[in-house]
Amino acid sequence: MVTVLGVDACPAGWLAVELHDGRFAGARIVTTLRSLLVGVAVLAVDMPLGLLEAGWRRADTEAAALLGRLRSSVFRVPPRAVWQEEEYDEARRRCRDLTGSGLSRQSWGLAPKLREANACLTEPGGDRLYEVHPEVSFRALADGTAPLPRKKSWAGQMARRSLLATAGIVLPDDLGDAGRTPPDDVLDAAAAAWSAHRIARGRARSLPDPPEHDADGRPIAIWY
C-alpha cells in the first residue's frame, strides 16, 4: 500500500489529506509540518520549496503562464535573502535590490510557513517533500480544459470536488476536526494529495522541466 499526504497551510497549522493507493483515507490538522514526514512515500505541500540566491524562480513564472486567468493564484517567490529578513520593510527593500521589484504584504505573510517548510528539507525524510500548486493540479485533473470557476465560489468548489471524485478521491461530508477548516483549504490539500500519488508512482510532471536547483543542488519545481 502506498501512503501519501497532500498538505495545505491553514489557520490552525497544516491540513493534511491522506491517500492509500490513491483513495481518500483521512484528513487531519497538525501544528508542525515536520510531524508528517514519517511513514509516507511522498508529502506534497502547497508552499514554495527551494529558494534562489538571486532573481525569480522559473517554477512560478511557468505556473502563472499555464493558469492563464487564474494566474493571480501564483505569487513570485523572491530570493533566499529576502526571507531571512525579520521585518517587512527590510524584506521589501531587499527584494527590490535583488529583483528590481517590491514584495507585497500578502506574500510576506507566508514567511513563517515558508521558513518552516524549507527547514524540513534538511530533516530526516525531507527528500520525500515536494512542492505543488493546487490550481496547477486541478488544471491537470481537468485535462487542461477551460479554466475552472474561482475556488471560493460555490461553482468552483463543486467543480473541484467533482474532479477529485472522478479521480477516485471521494471527500466525505464529515471530516471530523479537519472539517472546521475553510473548504478551499480542504480541496487544495486533496489536490496536493492527488499530485503526491502521481509523484509516488513516477507519473508526475514538473514546472519547469527539468527543474532548477538551489545552491545546495536541491530541485526547485512545482510538481503535478
**pLDDT for position 204:** 98
Q: Given CA atoms 175, 177, 179, 184 in this order, what sign does their dihedral have?
A: negative
Q: What is the pTM of this model?
A: 0.95
Return d(Cα 26, Cα 17) in angstroms, integer. 6
**Residue in 162, 218, 165, 213 with CA at minimum distance from that of residue 57:** 213
Return the pLDDT at 139.
Answer: 96
Would you state the pLDDT for residue 147? 80
What's the confidence (pLDDT) of residue 213?
97
Cβ proximity of 195 and 224 under 8 Å: yes
Q: What is the pLDDT of residue 145?
A: 80
What pLDDT does residue 51 have?
96
Q: Would you state the pLDDT for residue 198?
A: 98
Pick the closest to residue 67 from 8, 164, 133 (CA basis): 133
Give the model's pLDDT for residue 146: 74
Residues (pLDDT < 50) of the chain are none
